[in-house]
Amino acid sequence: MGIRLTRPPLTMGTAAVLVAATATVVVAAAAPASAATQTFTPVADTYVQSDTTSTNYGTATQIVVDNSPVRRMFLRFAVSGVSGTVTAAKLRLRAISGNDGSANGGTFKAMSNTSWSETGTTWSNQPAIDGATLGTLGSVSRDGWYEIDVTGFVTGNGTFSIGASSTSTDGAYYDSRESGADAPQLVLTTGTTTPPTGDPVFVGAGDIANSGSGDSATAALLDTIPGTVYTLGDNVYDNGTAGEFSSYYDPTWGRHKARTRPSPGNHDYNTSGATGYYGYFGSLAGPSGRGYYSFDLGNWHIVSLNSNISMSAGSAQEQWLRADLAASTKPCTLAYWHHPLFTSSSNHAPSTSTRPLYQALYDYDADVVLWGHNHVYERFAPMNPSGALDTARGLRTWVAGMGGASHYAFGTIQPNSEARNSSAYGVLKFTLHATTYDWQFVPVAGQSYSDTGTGTCH
């Protein structure tokens, strides 16, 4: 079968519209108050072919749409255990790696027949694709993930069949359910659409998505945590290409894209100009592709910076930062970027070129700084720009590079390092109160490391 999904499926709704995975998303400051996602893989999928009328392809590792010969594909999902209102439903498919792609990804429709046999369906006895059109995919590329909005068709528990065909002689091939982690997905979101009440939640990590499973596990944590999501760079490996964002990031952390405020890392810049990063996140990554911007959450001013461009005193970014901080009326400030000024990891040394940004934050009495780059978790006591303990004005800092990429090790432990872990994936969650904040390292399933505490704004 020809659609490959490497990450947990996205939820789908009753009406389906196919949308390319690169569609732009409007930023939301917070997630639904009680939203939850559930992912379903097909209980059956197959395709039929006009020149092999008695052949069944139910055990194939691909599903196909084509017009020469004519090929039609079928998927069936059994949805159960869903409570509450389905607010979004997405069908997600991955184009297989062994095909060059297609200019026409197919037209997807609802089907009334939900009892067709995966191992018995042939061209001669195929079920009718007789329902409403859910959506159409345009060009698809190998290893890319593609998405159809089926919110109007999948509305709750039940059995749902979807069929697809194509008018193009350039066939589109997707991974089937026999492909394991790359199988098709139906992702359902349930819950209210009312923003959460109470103090804002800010949650995320850095060094996130690759061909492994760490990012799937941390994305599952985000499914249960409302609020605004941040990223600390190296969003996708190895080179930040559009294809990698589509194949690795989008199926996991990508389902939280609308509430994400990212920052770029050096791997994102392995693609010239970080065009994969800026193309994927669009306006969520700030204006003009410069990679730095700010916003407010409750009583907090939040600043996302770019440690892959000039940060020297007097640089455009440093001058912008000082003007931005001077204009803020919020009593508390949190900043984040990729390369850490302080770290005890043996893989990447402290990035002293970031010191002018830290100095500006210190000068304006900021409170918290977050970094990635080293694939570990480390918390430091409040420090001044020289790294000396400063309980009066110092910024409390974290290295939180445990988003999914393989772990690094610690070397010489640096002064004022208070908490460390190099074995657990997880996310770092902040609850931002009026003049204080709570932090919590939230580990993935199967891990027990924890680190929690409370800080006060200057």
Amino acid 5: pLDDT:
33
pLDDT (mean) for 354-368: 98
Q: Please say if the pLDDT value at position 350 is more than 90.
A: yes
From 190, 225, 246, the end of a domain falls on 190
Is there a domain that residue 148 lies in?
yes
Same domain, 224 and 264: yes
Residue written as token pair 């605004």? 228
Same domain, 138 and 225: no
Q: Please say if the pLDDT value at position 445 is more than 70.
A: yes
Amino acid 30: pLDDT:
38
Contact 394, 382 (CB under 8 A): yes
pLDDT (mean) for 155-173: 93
Same domain, 352 and 425: yes
Q: Please say if the pLDDT value at position 66 is more than 60.
A: yes
Same domain, 100 and 182: yes
Residues in CB range of 23: below 8 A, 6 or more apart: 147
Q: For the chain, how far is it from start to end, CA to CA, in angstroms?
A: 58
Amino acid 151: pLDDT:
83
Is there a domain that residue 9 lies in?
no
Q: Dump pLDDT digits (tens) for 256-275.
A: 999 999 999 999 999 999 99
pLDDT (mean) for 310-315: 98
Dihedral of alpha carbons 431, 436, 438, 439, sign: positive
Task: Report pTM.
Answer: 0.62
> In this structure, what CATH number is given to the domain that contains residue 350?
3.60.21.10
Q: Please say if the pLDDT value at position 169 is more than 50.
A: yes
> How many domains does the chain contain in total?
2
pLDDT (mean) for 9-19: 33
> In this structure, what CATH number is given to the domain that contains residue 86?
2.60.120
Strand 62-67, strand 36-40: pairing: unpaired
Is there a domain that residue 8 lies in?
no
From 163, 190, 217, the end of a domain falls on 190
pLDDT (mean) for 138-147: 83
Q: Look at residues 201, 211, 218 and name the one whose alpha carbon lies nearest to residue 298.
A: 201
Is there a domain that residue 347 lies in?
yes
> Which residues span the domain enclosing 369?
201-456
Amino acid 209: pLDDT:
94
Same domain, 397 and 450: yes
Residue 402 or residue 84, greater confidence = 402
Of the ranges 29-33, 165-169, 366-370, which one carries the lowest mean pLDDT score? Answer: 29-33
Dihedral of alpha carbons 166, 160, 173, 218, sign: positive
